[in-house]
Amino acid sequence: ALLVRGRLLGLNGRGRTVRQRAGLSIRELAEVLGVDVATLSRWERGEGRPRASGAERWVAACQAIERALDEPQ
């Protein structure tokens, strides 16, 4: 993930969409990431930006979810 001018380029605003597509609640993903629900909500809305370690975990989780969703069943 790369933070440029406050935007996470590794997600390009897809975080909430990916989470919802996977059927995960914001609470479930926040627990996986080890952050507060309010924090993840701000990240998803673009109102806050994660520190580097949080950004890396968030992008990695979303990419893993996307890969799993794209795999043939």
Q: Which two tokens stand for residue 47?
A: 């109102």
Residue 2 pLDDT > 80: no
Name the more confident of 16 and 46: 16
Residue 66 pLDDT > 70: yes
Predicted structure pTM score: 0.77
| pLDDT tier, 8 (very low <50, low <70, confident <90, very high otherwise) | low
For the ranges 8-12, 41-45, 55-59, which has the lowest average pLDDT? 8-12
Q: Which two tokens stand for residue 46?
A: 């673009």
Number of helical H runs and strand E runs in the chain: 4, 2
